[in-house]
Amino acid sequence: MSYSKEDILRISKEENVRFIRLQFTDLLGAIKNVEIPVSQLEKALDNKMMFDGSSIEGYVRIEESDMYLYPDLDTWVIFPWVTENRVARLICDIYLPDGKPFPGDPRAVLRRALEEAEEMGYSAMNVGPEPEFFLFRTDANGNPTEELNDQGGYFDLAPTDLGENCRREIVITLEEMGFEIEASHHEVAPGQHEIDFKYENAMKAADQIQTFKLVVKTIARQHGLHATFMPKPLFGMNGSGMHCHQSLFRGSENAFYDESDALGLSDTARYYMAGILKHARAFAAVTNPTVNSYKRLVPGYEAPCYVAWSASNRSPMIRIPASRGLSTRIEVRNPDPAANPYLALAVMLKSGLDGIRRQLTLSAPIDRNIYVMSEEERIEEGIPSLPADLKEALNELIRDEVVVQAMGEHALTHFYELKEIEWDMYRTQVHQWERDQYMTLY
């Protein structure tokens, strides 16, 4: 829905809202918020609420810390799980004291990419995300354990699927918050789940991903469970992905559809895919941003680790779902739910636009199961691999001019520094596997 300042003031009074969370996202994708009493709502709606940006990961230094929260009025929603002292939420853009958008705000990064798409004649980027998650039991203190809540598998149902009631309540809550839910089901791994919601324009889709994570974690906790969007929480099981279905529109026309093409794909769609494939190794640092992300991107667990495409085969990075017409889209399968959704959509869009602008040639589709191909066969077919670890991904990121430009200097510099620190901490840590492997051997 679209709201005005007057609408929000009226609704907050009618619904007895007592507190408002002014929400935003840091560079690492963590949701942050400043909570204000309803008495300060009008001030917030006039863009006069300040906060200390130096305390937020990847924002600014202590000597330049004052920043302003500009609420996006269309993101107004009342949390349905709070019945007393009701709480509402507004997602905010970050502005500097001089009235200019803060270039390191993840929403600003995505907005710049969308503005470029609009300049090229594309009125919208539609995105249908599929963030997966695991449910673990909690201990007596409410801390997560490593015990899964069930041993179910793909599309299982109760009593095998013990997360069914929790998942159902998540769906009800999301619908009360304006989501259009298409399906929910148990995923392949024990304790793993997926809830699919309808596509939206890219900015709203990114907002919804963040809201989705908050709702899933909140409702899971009410059921004595811990929900995690960690890409690979357990060895030997499937990890959690966040497949991103995406298409470009010109007004009401799907720019990816061409009924005269054998696959129903327009030249625009093919150029866009070519751009995605060309820059995939570089934007992986953003779409797969943690050390743990690369433990998901290995053969044998349905996660794509090869840079290729197919109309049906699920082993390449890009798949073309069967629907055509307005539903024609590509499914980019490597992103995971640890990604900052604003940054992830921005770098994928910018990569696709580069393919369109330069009319890059799309490689031939790979309709064989890449997982069973030998390295020699993959080289012969010209199929590169995604980076093997975060360090390799960061090296690719910093060398790719298109992805660097998509991030912008501020976001890129701080993101890269944070991830270099993460990699170095991981690299120098001694892990249990090493002790198990070497303690008695040497």
**Positions marked catalytic:** 52, 130, 132, 187, 194, 243, 314, 331, 333
* Contact criterion met (CB below 8 Å) for 394 and 293: no
Phi, psi dihedral angles at 374 (to 5 degrees): -75, 165
Residues 6+ apart with CB under 8 A from 185: 154, 155, 193, 194
What tokens appear for 128 in the block? 């249908």
Handedness of CA 362, 363, 369, 371 (dihedral sign): negative
Partners of 129 in the beta sheet?
244
Nearest to 422 by CA among 86, 54, 146, 58: 58
Nearest to 338 by CA among 132, 106, 57: 132
Checking 249-254 for CB contacts under 8 A at 24+ apart, the result is 249/122, 249/123, 249/124, 249/125, 249/126, 250/121, 250/122, 250/123, 251/123, 254/325, 254/326, 254/327, 254/328
For 294, how many CA atoms within 13 A lie in the half-sphere containing its CB?
19
